[in-house]
Structures are given as C-alpha cells and as structure tokens.
Chain A
Amino acid sequence: GAVVSQHPSRVICKSGTSVKIECRSLDFQATTMFWYRQFPKQSLMLMATSNEGSKATYEQGVEKDKFLINHASLTLSTLTVTSAHPEDSSFYICSAREAGVDTGELFFGEGSRLTVL
C-alpha cells in the first residue's frame, strides 16, 4: 500500500526557535496533503490543506504565519512551526491523498511529537 513518511518523529526545541516537519509520499504522487494536530485525549484537528504548487488553505483559528506550509513537489510537504512556544507542544500528523484516485482514502505519516521547552 501507499506509504507516507514523516520526519522527525520526535523533536525537542527551545522556546523561540523554529522547527520543520517533513511529510513525504514514498511511492505515489500526492496533489493534496493535510496537516493535523492532536492534543492529548482529543481527536485530530485539521490545521491546513496543502496543494502542490499553490498556497495552503488554513482552517479557521490557525495562524498561517506561525505554521508555514510548503508543498513544492508532488511528494513533499513541509510544516514549519515558527517561533515555537510551549503551547505549540503537540502531536503533528500529515496525511496524503493519491493523485487521480477517487476513493478518498488518506494515508497517514507516523506523526511528529513536538516538545517546546
């Protein structure tokens, strides 16, 4: 099946620094990738939809200048948490939909756990 690789799986950073998370579709082309955030004991929250070659669409309440999303190729999307603060500590997950496939099935990365000190 289709594989999505997310890196890094865990990252610890100091407050005020920026962190980049990569999401790669390994064996398929993904025109659309989704970025989610999950707080403990809560469900996934869609942050933004990333379309290859165009600006990401952010959900209401998500700061686009703080969570920079770049989808420069059909196999790679990146999420950069800028000037991270402790409240940004969370589990970030990406998912991708295979181009040209109508089932709508999403393939998820392994997730990245961010801890901001």
Chain B
Amino acid sequence: GQNIDQPTEMTATEGAIVQINCTYQTSGFNGLFWYQQHAGEAPTFLSYNVLDGLEEKGRFSSFLSRSKGYSYLLLKELQMKDSASYLCAGMDSNYQLIWGAGTKLIIKP
C-alpha cells in the first residue's frame, strides 16, 4: 500500500534549526513535495524533489533519498511565523499526491 509517515508534532526555539523527517511508500514515484499550512488556510508549496540530494531555498531546504524512501525538510533561523503544519506528500505513478498527516511545528520564543 501507499503510505507517508511523519512526526505528529515538533517543538523548536526561535532562531534555531529544525529538521522534519518523512518516509514514504508509493506505487511508482514522481516526486516528493513539502507544503506549509497555517491553521485555517490552504497549504502553500514549499519544495519539490524528484532527484536525490539537497535543494536549498532561502531558510528552507529539502532533501531526498529515493533508495531509502526518505525526505526531510530543514528550517533554519526559525521565526515565530514558521509555526504551522508541514505536510509531506509523495506523488505516485498516476501523478496523484499521497499526503502525510502533517507535522505541527511549535516555535517557542
């Protein structure tokens, strides 16, 4: 079956670094997405990885290892506004997104 696993909740301190892990199992693979979702709002696109390695985009970076079925989202210089849920989603061979339940990130001053 298809499955996405990520931690339910994480807590970090303002200004610090946090890594949110995601493991995936999909029928075929067409990429791994990370989305950010603030409460009551629609998700916004953060990153897309289809090749192994690290993609850096400002304070956010995303890593993919296809052989391990593993990805992580790295957030640096955390700000209070980064408090949100982070959704990991794998795209299967039919281009359908398989969503994780999301990781709620709590930032403390």
Residue numbers of A with Cβ under 8 A of B are: 6, 42-44, 46, 49, 91, 93, 97, 103-111, 113
Find out whether the CB atom of B31 lies under 8 angstroms from the CB atom of A104: yes
Find out whether the CB atom of A43 lies under 8 angstroms from the CB atom of B101: yes
Find out whether the CB atom of B102 lies under 8 angstroms from the CB atom of A111: no
Is B13 located at the chain interface by the 8 A CB criterion? no
> Which applies to chain B's interface (DSSP): helix, strand, loop or mixed?
loop
Could you list 8 examples of A-B contacts with CB < 8 Å? A42-B101, A91-B40, A93-B42, A104-B30, A105-B45, A106-B45, A108-B42, A110-B41
Is B48 located at the chain interface by the 8 A CB criterion? yes
Distance of B61 from chain A, by nearest CB (Å): 18
Q: In the assembled complex, which residues on chain B have CB atoms less than 8 Å from the CB atom of A110? A: 41-42
Q: Which one of A46, A49, A109 lies within 8 Å of B42 (CB-CB)?
A: A109
Find out whether the CB atom of A44 lies under 8 angstroms from the CB atom of B43: yes
Chain B minimum-CB-distance residue to A1: B45
Q: In the assembled complex, which residues on chain A have CB atoms less than 8 Å from the CB atom of B45? A: 105-108
Q: Which one of B40, B41, B97 lies within 8 Å of A46 (CB-CB)?
A: B97
